Amino acid sequence: MKIDTAAVIKRMQIRNGNPRMEKMALELIDIALGVARPKAIYRISQAKVIDRGTVDIDGIQFTSRALSKCLKDQPTVYPLLATAGQELDELPTVKGDLMRQFTLDTIKMVILFSASEYLTNYIKEKHSLNGAAALNPGEFDDFPLSQQKPLFALFGGAEKQIGVALTSGGALKPTKSRSGILFPNETGFMSCKLCTMLKCPGRRAAYNPEVFKEYIGTP
């Protein structure tokens, strides 16, 4: 696999060419290349909008106004899971070495984003989608982490194939993992426009209150 070195450096916000941090980043990227095994899985599902805030996917109900809005007239959806892999979590760290921990965390994040992008592009090509968007549990209050449970139920244990598990609190393990529901979309919709967490490291579009109102309601 490849790791986008430039993306790692950018996310670390290394300014003025800090040679120490850049050296550490390059060294850890080299180590990560030797052990990283990102994985992903998806399935083809049938969706039916029940009402303004409820969607049925393969007989399992989800509660979200945004999801209901997005899946109107979209009977086929693609639940997915992606992870940077537990191998990276097993790399040794020195207690108190915050710089090394931060660098490793950034590398894992870049790997996760790359794995997610690869899976999205694969689904689009495999199923002839001109465009696609996704909603991920926990992105915003309307689609909270509690929706991880029905999403995992769709996979019926198949998530074990890629080593991903769901904690009792709705978090994913390994930590650098992502779940979501991908759906055909040619409008340019991005879930980031509904997210009010301004410093989200994965932000791809600015929060838009008008889009929020359209998909969810008055903030």
Q: What pLDDT digit, counting tens, does each position of 66-112 carry?
A: 999 999 999 999 999 999 998 988 887 767 778 888 889 899 999 99
pLDDT for the residue 96 = 76
- Percentage with pLDDT > 90 across the chain: 56
Query: Tokens 């709705």 belong to which residue?
Result: 170
Fold entry, domain 37-215: NADH Oxidase (3.40.109)
Chain centre distance of CA 71: 19
Of 175, 165, 49, 38, the C-alpha closest to 101 is 175
Question: CB–CB of 41/81 below 8 Å?
Answer: yes
pLDDT tens, position by position, 4-31 = 888 887 777 765 567 778 888 888 889 8
pLDDT for the residue 72 = 92
DSSP state of 166: E
pLDDT for the residue 12 = 77
CB neighbour class for 72 (10 Å; exposed up to 12, middle 13-18, buried from 19)? exposed
Selected residue with higher pLDDT from 93 and 57: 57
- Percentage with pLDDT > 70 across the chain: 96
Residue 33 pLDDT greater than 90, yes or no = no
Q: List C-alpha distances in Å: 130 to 122, 127, 171.
A: 12, 9, 32
pLDDT tens, position by position, 111-143 = 999 999 999 999 999 999 999 999 999 988 999
**pTM for the predicted model, two decimal places:** 0.88
